[in-house]
Amino acid sequence: MIQALSDTHALIWYVWDDPRLSRAAKAVFDTALTIGGQIAVCSISLVEVVYLEEKRRIAPGTLGRILGFLDLAELLLEFPVNRSILPSLAIIPRDQVPDMPDRIIAATAVHLGVPLISRDRKIRASSVTTIW
C-alpha cells in the first residue's frame, strides 16, 4: 500500500541519509519500510535527478542509487506521468505551484490520495496535503 509520494529532493535526501530530510519525512519513509508499505516516486523526479546530476547540483551516482532502491521494489514504487493525473493537475492552481515539475508531482500525490513528502514552501502553502 502506498503511504505517501516523495518529491525529488526528499527522495535524494532519503537515499543518501542526508540530515536535510526532516524527522517527520524520514519517519514516513522508515515507517513504510517497517510495515511493508511503499513510498511512490513520480517518474518526473527521475528526470529531475538526471538533470541535477548533469548540472552537478547533486552527488554523482544519485540516479544509480535511486534506481537501486526502485529495483528492490520493497520501499519505493515509481508512478508514471500519464493522463490519469490530468484531472488532479487541473485542480492545483498554477499561481500556487508555478513550477511544472513540482505541479506534476503534487498532482500525482493528489491523484493517489496520499500526502506529499516535500519541503517546498509553495507546495506546502497550497491545498496539497504535505509532510515535512
Q: What is the pLDDT of residues 77-87, one digit of tens each?
A: 999 999 999 99
What pLDDT, on the 0 to 100 scale, is given for residue 7? Answer: 98
Residues 6 or more apart in contact with residue 19 via CB below 8 angstroms: none
What pLDDT, on the 0 to 100 scale, is given for residue 72? Answer: 83
Averaged pLDDT, 110-124: 97
Query: What is the C-alpha to C-alpha distance for residues 21 and 29, in angstroms, rounded to an integer?
Result: 10
Q: What is the pTM of this model?
A: 0.95
pLDDT (tens digit per residue) in 11-37: 999 999 999 999 999 999 999 999 999
Q: Is the pLDDT of residue 103 over 80?
A: yes
Confidence at 114, pLDDT banded by 50, 70, 90: very high
Which residues partner with 79 through β-bridges?
42
Domains of the chain and CATH, by start: 2-131 (3.40.50.1010)
Nearest-5° Cα angle at 92, 94 to 55: 60
pLDDT (tens digit per residue) in 35-74: 999 999 999 999 999 999 999 999 999 999 999 999 987 8
Which residues partner with 2 through β-bridges?
38
Instruction: Please identify which residue in the block is written with the cell numbers 532519503.
Output: 14
